[in-house]
Chains A and B, each alone.
Chain A
Amino acid sequence: MIIFDFVPIWTLILGLAVFFYVLLDGFDLGVGILYNFAPTSGDRNLLMNSIAPIWDGNETWLVLGGLGLLAAFPLAFAIILPAVYFPILVMLLALIFRGVAFEFRFRDVEHRTFWDHAFGYGSAIATFAQGVVLGAFIQGFQVDGRHFSGSSFDCITPFSLFTGIALLFGYSLLGSGWLILKTEGTLQEGARRQARLCFLGTLAAVGVVSLWTPLVDPDIAQRWFSWPNIAFLAPVPVLTALFGLLEWRAIANPKAELQPFVYAILLFSLSYLGIAISLFPMIVPHHYSLWQAASSPDTQIFLGVGTLFLLPVILVYTGWSYWVFRGKVRADTGYH
């Protein structure tokens, strides 16, 4: 007996958790990627300090997203994770290195260069791996019954490698937007130059993916280009173009400190929405819908009660911690 359909609620919760993860860890991973290009040790200190108080909170969304998928759509969890075995492995190992580098770099002066690389390369590799996961997910997996039936190397395709590179530009765009907001002077000017490059890269990647997916996947083409969908969905590419233009101008405008970050977030939101529109209602593309992969209603209710109570609490103090650490980051501030 099902009194109430909890699947839409869990779709929303999980969608939000993954979205928060992509945005929040996205910008701090992006700062980590740009860290590789910071010229001096002092600059690297500033870059690290700009995300030191908040990165671990950001990363916790990854755990909540993973556990949310297991709890709400276990069949999808059991098929997708084996299918992206190696990207997940590489991501986890890179995140470990990057995570401990925050603490170790400051305590272990003798090996500072090593931990610098652990942080910079770790951030870049974790991002690339996430991009590969995204690409593999969009392409879909070989499924037999309730299992992934392909090889662990299937997920490495030209498309997934492309989305891996695309995400490097995307996260770097978010990261440079964050740095424009948090730094000043020459560091901010450098961040603006990087933002420009990352923006062009991101824009190109979004364009290529938007053309590539409908060409490869007739379902996606049907979704976007059939009448009347094309009319309803037209605002997505139109708004993307608009925010792209605003982002380009904000990056070039020395007075705009918050806008580059905000428009980058909006561009990400639209890309995320675009992927969701392409795939809905499938959670394992081509095989299982959200409803088919859902856990039992009892499970969704049992966990839903606590989640709907705790999630707002988490959101409130996440916001509060960003408020506490607001403002420009300076050289004399250490969070360790």
Chain B
Amino acid sequence: MLIDVHAHFFPERSARADWREYNASRLRAGERIGITVHLNSVLGTFGRSSPTYFPSPADVTYGNEWAFGLQREQPRRVRTYVCVNPNYSDHALAEIERGRAAGAVGIKLAASRRATDPLLDPICAAAARHGLPILHHIWQHRRRDRPGQEASDAAELCHLAARHPTVHFILAHIGGGGDWLHSLAVVPRHWNVLVDLSGSGVDGGMLEACLAAVGAERLLWGTDMTMETGWAKLRYLERLLPPELLELIRWKNAARIFPPRSFPGD
């Protein structure tokens, strides 16, 4: 079994005219790589009618609805994170309830509000109530504000994780941009934070550093926007780890933190 904890499919009403081809390509590449389950989050309309990282409530609802539809279409290979914008607390909490009823297995927090902000607390409380992990977009070592997002870094995520010790947090795409060494220095003592290996970065030494920082027990496999980099990391890890540790990264760690029966045969 192989679980991709960081996948995106694009909805019809997104900024991409080629959304169908993009989604088909993800599924096709997934078959070749051997991905059993794609864990999908849809960030509103990905910029078409509100910004990707600041989706309006209407776009959040649309994106989630589209994602639930995809899960119904692809019940064996697609699961859903319900995406929320914490600036709209009531709407976010209602989306989590709606998502849970529709079969969502996790919560996606992008970069609409910094992880240290109290507005994230009610969302984390809902995650704790439902036993849902939170995938949190991260800029590895955010030295300044970046346009288009109110990104958080590992230190800020760990601040949130410390406030909600019963929730599992997934630090998104360690290879997705920024200084991953900084993130790996921060996360080790925060036991409820797991590291997602996705992202376009395939730096020599990064996987060894991930293993040294948190061990195979707190690593999750994923792809995000580049599937070849995910496959490359998997191939590299196959040479680095014994099968029982590789299995943790491929799927067992995910099966541990997501709700029971989230995945086939679970």
The answer on A and B forming one complex is: no
Interface residues of B (CB under 8 A from A): none
